[in-house]
Amino acid sequence: MTRRSTRAMTRLAAACTIACAAVVQAQPRFSFDDTPGVLPKTIVPSRYAITLDLDPARDDFSGQVLINVKARKSVPFIELHASELKATRATLFSGGVARALHVVTQDESQTWRLMPVDNAPIAVGDHRIELAYSGQVHPYGEGLFRATSERNGKTEPMLATQLEAISARTVFPSFDEPVFRAAFQLTVRAPSQYEVLSNMPAEKHKVDGSATVHSFAATPAMPSYLFSVAVGHLESVSGQAAGVPLRIITAPGKREHAHYALKATQQLLPYYTQYFGVPFALPKLDQMAVPSTRWGAMEDWGLISYAENDLLVDEKKSSARTRRDVYQTVAHEVAHQWFGNLVTAASWEEIWLNEAFATWLESKATDKFNPTWKVPLDDRVPIDRAMLIDAGSATRAIRSGPVRESAVNDVFDPITYAKGGAVLTMLEHWIGPKAFQQGLAAYMRSQRLSNATAGDLWYHIGRASGRDVNAVAASWTDQPGFPLVQVQEACKDGKASVTLTQSRYLNAAGTATTQVWKIPVSMARGKAVKTQLMDSAQQTFSLGACSAQPLVVNAGGGGFYRVAYEPAALKALTASYAALGEGDRMGLLSDTFALVQSGRVPLNDYFSLLAALPRVNDPSRTMLWNVARSQLEFLDSSMAGTPAQQQVRSTGRTLLGPQLAKLGFTPAAKEEAATSELRAGLIQLLSQFDDEETVRKVLRAFDDDESGKAPLPTSLREAIIRATGVHADKARFDKLMARLKKASGEEERWLYAKALASGRDAKRAQELLAASTSDLAPPNVVTALPGMVARNSPFGEMAYQYTLSNFKRLGELSGTWGRQFLLPKAAEGFNDAERAAKLVEDQRREVGKDGDTLAAREAEAIRLRAAVKAREAAGLEKALPG
């Protein structure tokens, strides 16, 4: 599952705070009986036959499910999951004998208890459960939900599903935990004008009055969360790869935007098939762009669904960044057809086996087919975000430990995705790509159509590599946080050595822990690279002859840890910055800024390094500037409301202005995508930092586009529209609002919403906030408006208070999961420590304990911004060059 910019945070790790040393747990292999969950393992499903009566025009639906189960021991009742459903009939068939069942609804556990009316026990052996029920269609992207598109001026409804993590139970009664794999056979009755899709191909269609009954082939055994169905008016483009029929499916009028994703899939599917040595397991692979309502993407087996902006590319409007995001999202979801679908994490505690591996493989595959994109460098921004979380108290281990079902979405977070993927990249580098691939292929063959734990994975990779992979991996997956490696060099009698000291890296410097990681440390002088396994708190390594060349630790930048150099060594690395390898440059920039954030390195050292960036002129410069932009935005946010903010912006203009002047404002013919992306990023940040010349050109370009005089270049369209929003007067604000209202696709809606939310006029900000509970756009977009205003404008307090005052309505529009984000997102503009405590208090009152993690993490981010402001604001003007 991909949640992109709204991926959930994780729950608080009660078992280990930052003040204690985490205990590295054992990693046992998969055992059905030992797998944690809510339901008992006494009743095991093998097959579902589901019949649904669906109509996109209706707010409700009806269904019937027949479940073949095996009772492993005699029990007095059967317990399974069901939520928001109303039972109308319940029967148990045992040996051909029908027994009426009484349904006891248990709202807290979201289960039904099926009690035989005759009070006789349910014997060991095979049985069939038959349940008839009704349910509700959701207006938000969870469970069975409605999405809409425009066709010939009319609104066209469709139905789609998002069942991960625990929403299958809102569509049909089920054993809704990953460990309960079973076959699913679906029949759908729907109005005949609509097309119906599911995981498997349709086997037959039968007209029934004004409706058609669609019968689909049975799936292989799979968990309930991978079940998928869609009903609506649809179009598609078709192709084939690795012997598998492919379709990209869209709302009417959008099929031409599907070709890019089809070509990407045609590259990716054969690559994955070859990499694992295991073919795609189903007879077809459909991928569907849902026209509104949903977030991100979902890897449903054989019918992957996406938000439109994660699958479709408009050749006339989509930026280079959109193309890259679409490619990587497709790479991620198609990877899940193996990681997650063919082999499924045993429980939500092991969900990283699905998501971290899909993230790792997404980057690997994207880099293979698009080497000029510099994917390993581009991954730095999400990795830094994960490290910021992991350096605080509201974090957890990758293997999360016990997961409360009502808070299960907390584990779909940057710790699982970005940290998990980065740790796998580090382990692959240590083990070697060949042995790593061999181990994964053996893992796939061994656990095919079954479940798995970390123990299964490390067993197979360990056998392939001949190394104690389990012990090294466990130090990264089974304890929270990551290390800071401090570097101390020495030269004696012509021989060089380095002493490395590790300790847990924390945003609040000075808090001690006794944690130790087994770190594959790569060290380089020039092109000579040496990798050692550091497995104690302090170790000394010989480096051969003394050398004047600076030593780089974490050479290549692939390790998930921070590096702190002595002042003289940092100065030497800064002086030779342009001569370093591209991964080394990125690692040094990232680590130095993080050490500034935590107060370990003076701000001047960071600005000295930043001043060296213009000396880099190879293709990696785009990614370096992207990271530098995010760092300057952090400083800008931290200093908001103080004179120091203007100093940050002045420095940004001084640094970035010459880079844009060098590139030119207007794109050159046939220039590389990286150059276009760099220009767009510079324009956007220079506009945010009030560079007069850039703002003047931006507004003129927008006006020329609006009048039809000169359409915006595709590569600059997003940057100019977003920059226009920052400086929009009433007339331009109204034009942006009109464009948002007319937008027919998700990419356009999000673009105009972000632009509008960036404005600096209080009256217009109020107008936009009022639209967050209106029909201005689908619920996923409008409910995000307060958070976007808080993050991108000076009106964070206004956005937060609006969210508080309208929480009930916003929560109804955003759904069970989305409502947990409302207040934390609306607090992203705060940089005063007292607001952190208020956020935690408000979140608990409005959301309950299931929202604690998101609030705790944003509270930590607020405190970090406040700490940087308190430490740096007074001396910032003096510290800044120029």
**Residue 355 in marked binding region:** yes
Provide CB contacts within 8 A for 558, sequence distance 6+: 376, 422, 425, 426, 429, 522, 583
Question: How many Å apart are CA 343 and CA 446, to the nearest integer?
Answer: 9
The one catalytic residue in 308, 333, 362, 828 is: 333
Residue 641: exposure state from Cβ atoms within 10 A (0-12, 13-18, ≥19): middle
Beta strands in 285-392 (DSSP E): 285-290, 297-298, 303-307, 343-345
Question: How many Å apart are CA 265 and CA 201, to the nearest integer?
Answer: 19
3-state SS, residue 147: strand
Q: Which two three-digit tokens encode residue 503?
A: 């300790």
Residue 55: exposure state from Cβ atoms within 10 A (0-12, 13-18, ≥19): middle
Question: How many Å apart are CA 550 and CA 543, to the nearest integer?
Answer: 12
Beta strands in 615-683 (DSSP E): none
Question: How many Å apart are CA 366 and CA 333, to the nearest integer?
Answer: 12
**Residue 214 in marked binding region:** no
- Is the Cα dihedral 782, 787, 792, 795 positive or negative? positive
3-state SS, residue 496: strand
Residue 707: exposure state from Cβ atoms within 10 A (0-12, 13-18, ≥19): exposed
Question: How many Å apart are CA 112 and CA 106, to the nearest integer?
Answer: 6
Question: How many Å apart are CA 395 and CA 407, to the nearest integer?
Answer: 14
Side chain identity, residue 140: Y
Question: How many Å apart are CA 314 and CA 303, to the nearest integer?
Answer: 22
The two beta strands, 450-452 and 343-345, are parallel
349 tagged catalytic: no
Question: How many Å apart are CA 406 and CA 820, to the nearest integer?
Answer: 12
Q: Is the separation of the CB atoms in 544 and 559 below 8 Å? A: no
Q: Is the separation of the CB atoms in 90 and 55 below 8 Å? A: no
Q: Is the separation of the CB atoms in 396 and 10 below 8 Å? A: yes
Cα dihedral: 572, 576, 577, 581 (round 10): -110
**Residue 336 in marked binding region:** yes
The secondary structure of the chain in percent helix, strand, coil, rounded to multiples of 5, reads 45, 25, 30
Residue 263: exposure state from Cβ atoms within 10 A (0-12, 13-18, ≥19): middle
- Of 186, 300, 314, residue with least CA distance to 250: 314
**C-beta neighbour count of 329 within 10 angstroms:** 24
The sheet that has 235-241: what strands, in order across it?
A: 235-241, 244-250, 285-290, 303-307, 297-298
Residues acting as catalytic residues: 333
Q: Which positions make up the binding site?
A: 332, 336, 355
Q: Which positions make up the binding site for Zn(2+)?
A: 332, 336, 355
